[in-house]
Structure 1
Amino acid sequence: MQILEEMQSRGHEALTLLHHAPSGLRAALAVHSTVLGPAIAGVRLREQDEDLAIRGALALSESLTLKAALAGLNYGGGACVLMTPECGMDDPHAREALFRALGRQIRPMEARVVLTEDIGVSAGDIAFVAQETRSTLGMHTDTSAVTGYGVYRGMKAAARFALGSESMRGVRVAILGVGAVGRALATHLHREGARLTIADDRPERAEALAEDLDGVTVVSCEQILDAPCDILAPCGYGHSIRSTDVPRLQCRLIAGGEHHPLTRRGEDAVKEAGIVYMPDFAINAAGLIAAATTLDMNQAAERVYQTVGRITAAAEQYGKAPHVVARRMAERRIQLIGSLGGAGTWRSA
């Protein structure tokens, strides 16, 4: 991987590798943009090698820039991907040490980076970080629950454009990944009467959810891409849909909580296939909005609903794909607000 070329092509400002041997801290911290303000960096913890951690941080940080901009927040985008220590994370003292070590390493970067939770990281973990640095957000927000509800509301707005109605009753929705966000999304959809097919790379998790929600069909992660459905909702770790998988898809809309379910090539492929794609940075922003503002779950989800509505209205007006419109809207705000100079001195949204 040519790291500098990758950073240049995406417009990144910085990439830092963090290391603290006693705690087992090994992390990649990417700052994509600070044009609108300090970079909100989602912190992820996963078992993966260094190359995957760097790739993940670069991709996620770009998505956070677009998400914050589109949501009207005065923040830029970053990402911090932690590699699971070899000793594991079962010892609570070891977990505390890991996240406090992260906080100490972030302390010199407080003017540029703000950490918040993401996959594998809890509000309690961010509270450990906060013992060492002021640059944290979201400790008192159930980010996954808020994000899941926001995806549900955004999906309804997208369905009005793609399916002709925002009602989910009888709509076939295939959810790939039923962790905290996917489970919350499934619960809201089930309550409205959607017909659900679910899959997870931990099959027992999907089976447990199916036991709680009547009438849910469980398939494998490979099978779900072939499932007849109206909406495919990727809610996994990223790049769940390869460009070569697109001809298999039987959906009319892709809308889920996952960051970067498609590559740029995949986005082109779904556009050619006539599938509407509502991008991650537009539809999964409610958790970030709630963490960065004083808005509650309903208010944050309503902001997502309104944003998706603006995207689809513009897409219909100009005959453009919604994911193209959404990116242009985010980039336009960065350009306009960035031109004022001195961004980042006032964080309220």
Structure 2
Amino acid sequence: MAVEQEPTFRESVDLMVDRALATMDLDAGTQQAIKSCNSVIQIRFPVKIKGEIEVFTGWRAVHSNHRLPVKGGIRYASYADQDEVEALAALMTYKCAIVDVPFGGSKGALQIDPSKYDRDALEQITRRFTLELVRKGYLSPSENVPAPDVGTGQREMAWMADTYKHLHPEDINYMACVTGKPVNHGGIRGRVEATGRGVEYALQEFFRHPADVGHAGMSGTLEGKRIIVQGLGNVGYHAAKFLSEDDGALITAIIERDGALINDKGLKVEAVYQYIQEHGTIKGYPDASFEADGKVVLEKSCDILIPAALEGQITVENAARIDTKLIAEAANGPVTFGADAILRERGITIMPDAYVNAGGVTVSYFEWIRNISHIRFGRMQRRQDEMRGHQIANLLEEVTGFSISDKVKKDVTSGASEVDLVRSGLDDTMRLAYQSMREKMLENGRVNDLRTAAYVVALEKVSRSYLDIGVY
């Protein structure tokens, strides 16, 4: 199969869903209802920038509103198109279901290269895009809640929230109209690194199951495992940083747009990141060899490959040359449908994007709950927990006759902060989601890979809304 003959991103998602549906007993009508994209809007709007009028094109798709609000990021990218937006919206539906986040799936995009515009121009464009989305019913705290994605971040989310507030000054829940905001403007601590942290928690859970690790041709823990990361953006940077610093893994290569850095003894992720921030490139970074053709480094031998850039990076053209034991899809759709079949036939374990990439929407859910409830997590119980800790520490000293060290006492008596609770909730979510996929593989003889198991878990949950409640 030639690369150009591969299905589109949207078709690829549907084909992977079809593979899961083939193991289930759902009637054809329900299957079609679940797979269909409910609605998609294309918006064209003019903005005057430095005296010149430019017309921009954007989209917002709602794949399924079996749960409200629907949830999904908005990306700014020159390559964005409707097919991609619909595919990503579908992934959001399944992603939320896998990790038990009670949202439907949505996604948005603006066809723009943000690097070509200054801050003021981007603010104008973002506020106008938000105005169009709100007017057409595609952005609100109760119906459709965007988040950051490729090319957007906290700044853009703050602009969107402020625009919505001015359009609906009576809505006391206006902060919940988007997630991924700055902490000082309704955001939640731990959201920026949430997707990367979720990748770490997903891999930690995988390595808690020796049978799964052995099936992937490995043993032991994450410590010392050779990892290649493609993309040192928000997701790739945090995943690589946490895996190397917390788990002792070796980041042996980092692939960026302008090439790749290689050091078999392990790269210092923070140093690489700071170098990129200062120089705008990885070229010239010391303490590593440079490879101009970054795509070739995807094929370098490693234990774990983490594609954290864009979709369609591992295709039928290079799948046969991928030399890894485990792929953790930190990006959306980095492995095409055709490549997925080749990799599975070769015995390479794939942890699917719909699970591995779900840390962002999980913590977005926590942020949305925080905004709706109008109270930060831990505010009412933290000091009570600290007081109880002091009582336990004092009791232990009294009963044993020994003094507890200041360090141990501090650990025992410290109440959980908001970020502690966010990380705890994310860790629990990623653990339980992996366990549900694993159990599905054990109980269903027709499900023999994690991607199919993930979709079966999601489809069972979504189908209950269609069959039990009648969401048609």
Name the TM-score, length of structure 2 as normaliser: 0.65
Pick closer, same or farther for the CA change 1:210–1:338 going to 2, 3 Å. same
Tell me which structure has the larger Cα radius of gyration. Answer: 2
Q: Structure 1 stretches of 5 or more lacking a match? A: 344-349
The CA deviation at 1:240 is: 1.2
Instruction: Identify the residue that residue 437 of structure 2 maps to in structure 1.
Output: 311
The CA deviation at 1:330 is: 0.5
The one-letter code matched in structure 1 to 2:458 is A
Matching residue within 83, 107, 110 for 1:79: 107
Q: Secondary structure at the match of 2:73?
A: strand
The one-letter code matched in structure 1 to 2:85 is A
What do the CA deviations read for 1:150-189 (whole angstroms, capped 9, x no partner)? 1011022234423455621111111111111101111112
Matching residue within 237, 250, 254 for 2:327: 254
User: Structure with the greater relative contact order (CA < 8 A, sep ≥ 6): 1 or 2?
Assistant: 1
The one-letter code matched in structure 2 to 1:286 is G
Q: Secondary structure at the match of 1:312?
A: helix
Which one is further off, 59-68 or 298-307? 298-307
The CA deviation at 1:203 is: 4.0
Matching residue within 53, 58, 63 for 2:91: 63
The one-letter code matched in structure 1 to 2:302 is C
RMSD: 3.0
Instruction: Identify the residue that residue 94 of structure 1 maps to in structure 2.
Output: 121
Instruction: Identify the residue that residue 321 of structure 1 maps to in structure 2.
Output: 449
Distance 2:290 2:422 in 1: 32
Aligned pair count reads 337
Q: Secondary structure at the match of 1:26?
A: strand
Distance 2:290 2:150 in 1: 23
Contact 2:329 2:350 in 1 (8 A): no
What do the CA deviations read for 1:23-78 (whole angstroms, capped 9, x no partner)? 65421222111112232121101122xxx422221221111111111111221111
Instruction: Identify the residue that residue 241 of structure 2 maps to in structure 1.
Output: 187
Identity %: 21
Contact 1:286 1:300 in 2 (8 A): yes
The CA deviation at 1:269 is: 2.0
Q: Secondary structure at the match of 2:101?
A: coil
Name the TM-score, length of structure 1 as normaliser: 0.86
Q: Structure 2 stretches of 5 or more lacking a match? A: 1-6, 15-31, 49-54, 165-173, 182-186, 274-285, 371-420
Matching residue within 116, 131, 146 for 1:115: 146
1:188-227 aligned within 5 A = 188-191=242-245, 192-196=247-251, 197-203=253-259, 209=269, 211-212=271-272, 219=291, 220-227=293-300
Q: Secondary structure at the match of 2:334?
A: coil
Contact 1:150 1:302 in 2 (8 A): no
Matching residue within 51, 69, 88 for 1:38: 69
The one-letter code matched in structure 1 to 2:193 is A
Distance 1:129 1:73 in 2: 23
1:236-315 aligned within 5 A = 236-293=309-366, 294=370, 296-315=422-441
Distance 2:192 2:470 in 1: 32
Distance 1:73 1:286 in 2: 11
The CA deviation at 1:342 is: 8.1
What do the CA deviations read for 1:104-154 (whole angstroms, capped 9, x no partner)? 112131464221111111112111111233432232145441110110110
